Structure 1
Amino acid sequence: MSDRLPWDDIGVPTRDYTVRKIAAASSIPLFWGRDTLGRCLIIIELEGDFAEDFRRGVVEFHGINVDLRDSDAPQQQRLVLTLDRTVDQDLFFGLCQTLINTLAPATTSVQALAMALAHIRRWRAFLAARKSRHLSDEEVRGLWAELQYMRALYAGRLTTAETVDGWTGADMRQQDFIFDNIAVEVKSLHGRDRNSVRISSEDQLATVVDDLFLVTHRLTVAADTAGAVSLNALVELVEGELGDADVLEQFSQKLADFGYLPIAAYDTPEFVVADRQTYRVEGDFPRLVRAELPSGIVRVSYEIELEAMKDFQVSNDEVLKGD
């Protein structure tokens, strides 16, 4: 990133604010700006009256004011984000850059407002979680697989609220989903040569609930292929399907706890699920558990060959539909 920020070339006005249009791919007008106190702004111009939509979806964000203001033009409003503290300009610029990218597909003001408020919600949750790091390639694939399984759960068995509530991957518990006395551990397999699944601890395939399942997703990188989506695109897809504001809030917080933020790095690669398999973990399923470790061994990770699990394979619908 250049040392210069877009507000460096914008003067401080004596009234209202000074703006400069942002050259962006979006059809929604966007502007950099400064107000009479010299504070940095980003402005989204909206056609219509969105007072009620804004009231329902407004996000309180410490250090950044989020306002909906009437324009001089009839039937026009502006969503204005104002940075309170100059020392946070670099951070605010990062938020603005990703917001601009998020709004690129928007073709209507209704879409733009919804996308912007969801984006602000994600940033607020991320900053509260204080995990400012990039996810590793393995973490990206793992989160991607969990979100796809989340979609399958609320498409077939649970409500969106039950699914998000049951998602425990970000909570550092042993399994990724727990619901209806069922635990599910989701794994992503990547590349043609993967013939095993990695288990990260002696507790990952042990549970106190009645039924434990291991679900594998074989992922293929398939840019420009129908159905292929990046991690950022998949998060936006889930957000659009969840709908309820409280569920969205919980989802955003769990993503933040995971360490996710919609930065450009996660716009690629794009994956598709080439294959999904479900295994019931019971009886002689090949696994290590804490109670059976030799004395003195306190922490293990290991890999299980997929071939060794084939006798425990069940229908995907056994979990996804309760069959």
Structure 2
Amino acid sequence: MLIRVPLHVASNAHVERNLKGIKVEKMAESTDSVLLSLCLQDRNFEDIFNILLSDIISNVIELSDPRQVLRQFLSRVDKWHALLEKAATSGLTPEEHRGLYGEIFLLRKMLLALPDPEKPLTAWVGSDKAVRDFQYGVCALEVKTSQGNNHQRVHISSERQLDTTTVGHLYLFHLSLDTQQAAGESLNDLVDSVSSFLLYDFRLYSQFQFKLVQAGYLPAHRELYANKGYVIRTETFYSVEGAFPRIEENDLRHGVGDVKYSIIISDCESYQTNENSVYQILNQAW
């Protein structure tokens, strides 16, 4: 990928990068401009590099200020350097695999239910290991998946995950799954269905592909997920409010942190809420 920027802009920035698998360097310099090259050095990263290029283009194509173009270009390269480090991993763990399926499953439902697809996609921050899986404005959603006979209990990873102090509406979406070999819907199938939905909006499609890599879902690992499928047993929304069973940050004594606990989901029946009412709240808030 080649990008031309004014000489006075490039001269005030450190533009060279020699990172894992990719390299940014000056290819040519004239009296008024510099030609920068973003080059793939390791062909093992070719699939990811193609996503990287789409991501960079979608982030700079509407910018007119060359300073912003260069800043965004280098920012995305540095962001992708961290993601390329994940390419050496051996794929998602079973828990990560199931958790990512749950997040994208809810993302697809919201893309189909809400009028503006950009809002739920932007709200999906679980791919970046945020406190909650979806957060936008004053509304947030946390996704929990369980399988087999373990559906009665879900695990909460911190005292902030179900803390409503800083949000106006917080929902817990619970997805109970059966795992099957060569049956049901695979993670790959789910990813492909969302990709197809976003395919004709280049910016949103690129954003989704970037978030997948953030979450550790890499093109080179697709064959690892091809034979495991999921069948939905139940899907339920809960409104986290009032006396909903949870631990909040203000409940802890001074010096206590990193709290992990579990919720017996059958004890939350009184907090079940209608799916359409959730979408109505999100549509108003997002």
Letter in 1 for 2:254: S
Aligned counterparts, 1:59-208, within 5 A: 62=22, 85=41, 88=42, 91=44, 120-121=50-51, 128=81, 129=83, 130-132=85-87, 133=89, 134-179=91-136, 181-207=138-164, 208=166
Q: Which amino acid aligns with 1:245?
A: F
The residue identity in structure 1 corresponding to 2:147 is H
Q: What is the rounded CA distance, in whole Å, between the counterparts of 2:172 and 2:113 in structure 1? A: 18
TM-score normalised per structure 1: 0.60
Match in the other structure for 1:213: 171
In the alignment, structure 1 residue 309 sits paired with structure 2 residue 268? yes
Q: 1:84 to 1:159 in 2, by over 3 A?
A: closer
Q: Gaps spanning 5+ residues in structure 1: where?
A: 1-60, 64-82, 100-117
* TM-score normalized by the length of structure 2: 0.68
8 A Cα contact 2:52 2:210, kept in partner = yes
Distance 2:225 2:176 in 1: 19
Counterpart in the other structure of 1:8: none
Q: SS in structure 1 opposite 2:196?
A: helix
Aligned length: 216
* 1:260 and 2:190 matched: no
* Identity among equivalent pairs (%): 30
Greater shift in the superposed pair: 262-271 or 297-306: 262-271
What's the CA shift for 1:178? 2.0
Higher relative contact order (CA 8 A, sep 6+): 2
The answer as to 2:197 corresponding to 1:238 is no
Tell me if 1:229 matches 2:185. yes
Separation in 1, partners of 2:53, 2:177 = 28
Q: Deviations over 1:17-72 (max 9, x none)?
A: xxxxxxxxxxxxxxxxxxxxxxxxxxxxxxxxxxxxxxxxxxxx957xxxxxxxxx
Tell me which protein shows more helix as a share of its residues. Answer: 2
Once the 2 structures are TM-superposed, how far is the Cα of residue 274 of structure 1 from its aligned partner?
A: 1.7
Q: 1:19-34 maps to which residues of 2 (within 5 A)? A: none
Give structure 2 stretches of 5+ with no counterpart: 1-20, 24-38, 56-78
Letter in 1 for 2:177: L
Distance, in Å, in 2 between the alignment partners of 1:220 and 1:319 is 25
Which is higher, the Rg of structure 1 or of structure 2? 1
- SS of structure 2 residue aligned to 1:279: strand
Alpha-carbon deviation of 1:290? 1.1
**Alignment correspondent of 1:79:** none
Q: CA deviation at 1:154?
A: 1.3
